Amino acid sequence: MLEQPKQLVDQDDPTEQFTDPKSFEDEEQMFTNNVDKTGKNKRFPPLFSGIMQDIKDRLPYYRSDWTDSWDYRVIPVLVETYLNNLLPAIAFAQDMFDHTDNAFGVNEVLLSSAIGGIVFGIFCGQPLCILGVTAPVSIFNYTVYEIIKPWGIDYFGFMFWICIWAMICHLLLAITNMVCLLQYVSSFPCDVFGLFNNIVYIHKGIEILTRQFNDNGKTDLASGYASIVVALIMTLFGSVCKLSVKTSLFPYSLRTFISDYSTVAAVLFGSLFIHFGGYVNDIHFQKLHITHNFTPTSKLRGGAGWLAYHSIPTRYIFLALPFGIILTILFYFDHNVSSLMAQRNKYKLKKPSTFHYDFALLSLTTGLSGLLGVPAPNGLIPQAPLHTEALLVRDNNGKIVRCVEQRFTNTGQGLLMIATMTKPLLTCLGQIPQAALSGLFFVMAIQGLVENAIIRKLLWLLTERSKRGLSNPLSNIPPKTILIFTTLGIVGALIEYGLTLSKAAIAFPIALVLTVVLSLSFPKWFSKATVPILDEPVAEPFTRKNLLFENLH
């Protein structure tokens, strides 16, 4: 059993935790002691070895993954995970609906989330990782639409081949053990990506609000300004509920309950606010666009149902290849990092990780999504780590005792997504005002910014020196060094965001790779003792075991 790394905690700021870099060196050495001194194990592992090792490690736990579901934490976590996945998903559905001339809508996003939940819940190696539609996937889908629309290419036929090429690339990466390269991903590119997502959330919220001033080609100032008010009030309400867990108000269990269901409470608040009466009743609020139950949104399919494939010329099939490669890069980073974050050391997980096998399985859901004409699902941030967090069992002092590692919640929330495509639940979703979706984006952005490590380091720099706390390892690093590090992170996130606003938006996943390359150069920029404090590993050696080349020989 690995020794848990020692934590150095600033008592004045319990939200900040840093790991002693010495502990990481000690734990990494435990995995490299058995390496062949001749250098034999430094060679790239044989084909399929990563997948086979994942299956070998995880298969003995499959039965217990179901029997361990018999736990009191499972039912409330099922409901919470379903809602935490559903609400952002419908916000992205509205975003893609507006950008693709109604090609994608609520039903497509619900089916995509259902595929991710059911397939991964039953067949994956790490069922704690929740799949669904993310902001980058939304951007990718409508950017492709904007690029090919002037060329007259059938959108769903083109997306089908993008997904097929991506499926092939996923399989090749998994078979050749290229997922091992994930061992070089540290916290910095993940934090930059998280900051980028939060900026995108703010942009999407504002974008939805601007559309409220235009209703069917007519200017509607009352609806526009009223929508802004609803979104801002909802943002305040949702943020206060979420951050209440960090206060001393109410008992800890009640604070946790309020925080867990803050997103749901915020959407309910925003949806009910428009019915408060008075002059509000005179305003026409635009609602979330829905379609018939179990029916595709797109009118481009000509009644073809869920089989979205349309024949396209051969030259366009090969034109889809670079798009498929870019989607693979995005999923390689986005999904695997989500899985890493759902398996952090602090959660005290006992069951092995399976990155190679799960990435191969992701190829199946990606190809199936192209066939059905839905956005391809992949690992969600922050829903994946939130899922694990919710499954933790704590003692009376709030300390983690264990985690309920099982498959029921992931599979169950996927089945609930299918149920949401029925007429009664779709009708309920159709009552949500678009202003509430805008507020939801703002709430998610604020929640992400509060937890983002780059922003927290920046806030630490801005904190009065006497209030920083001497026990915080950042106190031993020159402020100039911290400023350079945070500046690099902020600039990186802004570059990624800037790409999404340009004609080069389709290439923004390449910027993710560049942040990884940049992080590899940190030992040349900063001292050996500084790097582990500024840029911690995403997960512990126990989780990263099968990502190390020498462990797959």
Per the listing, tokens 């949401």 go with: 420
- Cα(403)–Cα(74) distance, integer angstroms: 11
Please give the pLDDT value at position 303: 54
Is residue 83 situated within a structural domain? yes
Q: What are phi and psi of 433, to 5 degrees?
A: -70, 150
- Cα(137)–Cα(411) distance, integer angstroms: 22
Angle at 73 between CA 69 and CA 74, to 5 degrees: 45
Paired tokens of 420: 């949401």
Distance of CA 101 to the CA centre of its chain: 26
Sort residue 48 into left (φ over 0), alpha (ψ -120 to 50) or beta.
Answer: left
Report which of 503, 484, 420, 490 is spatially closest to residue 454, judged by C-alpha positions.
490
Neighbour tally for 467: CB within 10 Å: 9
- Cα(424)–Cα(430) distance, integer angstroms: 10
Q: Are residues 383 and 393 in contact, defined by beta-carbon separation less than 8 angstroms?
A: no
Report the amino acid identity of residue 489.
G
pTM comes to 0.82
Q: Are residues 227 and 435 in contact, defined by beta-carbon separation less than 8 angstroms?
A: yes
Is residue 13 situated within a structural domain? no
Is residue 286 situated within a structural domain? yes
- Cα(186)–Cα(189) distance, integer angstroms: 7
Please give the pLDDT value at position 35: 41
Per DSSP (E only), the strands in 199-350 are: 214-215, 218-219
Distance of CA 154 to the CA centre of its chain: 29
Pairing of strands 214-215, 392-394: unpaired
Report the amino acid identity of residue 257.
F
Report the amino acid identity of residue 467.
K
Neighbour tally for 274: CB within 10 Å: 21
Report which of 434, 499, 440, 429 is spatially closest to residue 265, judged by C-alpha positions.
440
Paired tokens of 291: 């379609």
Is residue 41 situated within a structural domain? no
| Structural domain harbouring 256 | 46-537
- Cα(202)–Cα(438) distance, integer angstroms: 9
| Number of domains within the chain | 1
- Cα(278)–Cα(272) distance, integer angstroms: 14
Q: Are residues 415 and 117 in contact, defined by beta-carbon separation less than 8 angstroms?
A: yes
CA-to-CA separations, 415 to 41, 377, 408, 418, 516, in angstroms, rounded? 44, 15, 10, 5, 36
Is residue 190 situated within a structural domain? yes
Task: Supply the Cα-derived Rg of the chain in whole angstroms.
Answer: 23
Is residue 7 situated within a structural domain? no
Distance of CA 127 to the CA centre of its chain: 15
For residue 133, the surrounding DSSP H or E stretch is none
pLDDT beneath 70, residues of the chain: 1-43, 299-304, 396-398, 469-470
CA-to-CA separations, 293 to 297, 414, 420, 421, in angstroms, rounded? 10, 17, 9, 5
Q: Are residues 65 and 127 in contact, defined by beta-carbon separation less than 8 angstroms?
A: yes
Distance of CA 90 to the CA centre of its chain: 15
Is residue 453 situated within a structural domain? yes
- Cα(98)–Cα(101) distance, integer angstroms: 6
- Cα(420)–Cα(93) distance, integer angstroms: 14
Please give the pLDDT value at position 14: 34
Per the listing, tokens 């601007």 go with: 210
Please give the pLDDT value at position 302: 57
Report which of 361, 329, 317 is spatially closest to residue 160, judged by C-alpha positions.
317
Please give the pLDDT value at position 8: 34
Report which of 159, 122, 161, 149 is spatially closest to residue 374, judged by C-alpha positions.
159
Is residue 483 situated within a structural domain? yes
Report which of 58, 6, 4 is spatially closest to residue 473, judged by C-alpha positions.
6
Please give the pLDDT value at position 478: 86
- Cα(294)–Cα(526) distance, integer angstroms: 55
Please give the pLDDT value at position 170: 96
- Full DSSP string of 165-225: HHHHHHHHHHHTTGGGGGGG-BHHHHHHHHHHHHHHHHHHHHHHHHHTTEETTEE-HHHHH
Paired tokens of 338: 């989500």
